[in-house]
Structure 1
Amino acid sequence: MGTAMLARMSFYPTLLYNVVMEKVTSRRWYDRMDDTVILGALPFQNMTRQLVEEENVKGVVSMNETYELKIFSNDAAVSQLHVITLKMMIKQTQPIIPPMFLPPNNKLPGVPMDQNQMNSGTVYVHCKAGRTRSATLVGCYLMMKHGWTPNEAAEYMRSKRPHILLHTKQWEALDIFHRRHLSH
């Protein structure tokens, strides 16, 4: 309970930090990983037109907890898109991904879009900063798509989005995913 409370209390200050870092450094709010996936931070409502018209976003995968989406969320603005939330992504019988300071569930499914949806547009995968939770999921997607190792997926993501931040638990999740789905 202490970690969850800390995550809630630090959400808005750290979101503000991300906004400032995007303004004063070379960080971008989002980065395209390939033709079908963008890895990014929480998409604000004023970004909808750009994401839909310029980036051809047809789906959104949110790695956020519900409370993180309440005020600045793009959910209402992208209601015309196929929005996949965490609870929709992971079966109800499995725990959802814990708050921002905890590791993702080791049953990460990869980006849950069928091939027709993937061919027709872009999926925007995000968490608060687009550095840890969403990077872990995109890493799983890249490993599945290319047959890469966790290190290869992480290096590729860093080449596109240098400020991704994978902690020990995220590396463990990537390794578990790799062993379960790609190791023979």
Structure 2
Amino acid sequence: KATQTENVRMVITMNEEYDPPLGERSLFVLKQEWKAEGVEQLRLSTVDLTGVPSLENRASSVYVHCKAGRCRSATLAAAYIVQIHCWGPEEACQMLAPIRPHVIICSTQLETLRRYHQKVCAFDSG
């Protein structure tokens, strides 16, 4: 299991909160299922394609996912790269491209990453 081999202790779920139809329940891991594996789940309810998570986040060894792994989770991964390296959003997204070539960062997500970059990488000139 990835939780054991990768030492994952936290999962960030970036789907909208809803009760999936019975046929889709196997696609979703419930909070209590993560807990049984010793993994904490943080749910950031985020609208698909155009949604962006809150600028307030926390982490450790983390697996980030959304439904398709193209937009929401990629935006959060890019935000993490921005935070730890103070790279611009475009550079952070370029770092993800070889790892996840199907990633799509739309204009609203990119704008949020730009605002996040300004927030976390502002240097005190005084």
Matches within 5 A, 1:76-115: 76-79=32-35, 80-86=38-44, 97=46, 99-105=47-53, 107-110=54-57, 112-113=58-59
- Summarize the alignment of residues 104-183 of structure 1 with structure 2, pairs less than 5 Å apart: 104-105=52-53, 107-110=54-57, 112-113=58-59, 118=60, 122-183=61-122
RMSD, matched Cα: 1.9
In the superposition, the TM-score normalised over structure 2's length comes to 0.81
Cα displacement string for residues 17-50 of structure 1 (whole angstroms, at most 9, x for unaligned residues): xxxxxxxxxxxxxxxxxxxxxxxxxxxxxxxxx2
The structure 1 segments of at least 4 consecutive aligned residues displaced by more than 6 Å after TM superposition are none
- Give 5+ residue unaligned stretches, structure 1: 1-49, 87-95
* In 2: Cα distance, 1:164 partner to 1:62 partner: 17
* Paired letter, 2:49: F
Identity %: 32
In the alignment, residue 160 of structure 1 is paired with which amino acid?
A: I
Give TM-score, length-normalised by structure 1: 0.57
User: Match of 1:63?
Assistant: 14
SS at match of 1:148: coil
Give the aligned partner of residue 5 of structure 2. Answer: 54
CA displacement 1:95-127 (0-9 Å, x = unmatched)? x53x2133315x4234x12xxxx2xxx311111
8 Å Cα contact 2:71/2:104 also seen in 1? yes
Query: Which residue type is aligned with residue 78 of structure 1?
Result: W
Q: How many residues are treated as equivalent by the alignment?
A: 116
Does structure 1 residue 74 correspond to structure 2 residue 29?
yes
Deviation per CA, 1:50-86, whole angstroms, max 9, x where unpaired?
Answer: 2212221111011111227671211242123111112
Shift of 1:154: 0.3
Instruction: Tell me the CA shift for residue 159 of structure 1.
Output: 1.9
- Gapped regions of structure 2 (runs ≥ 5): none
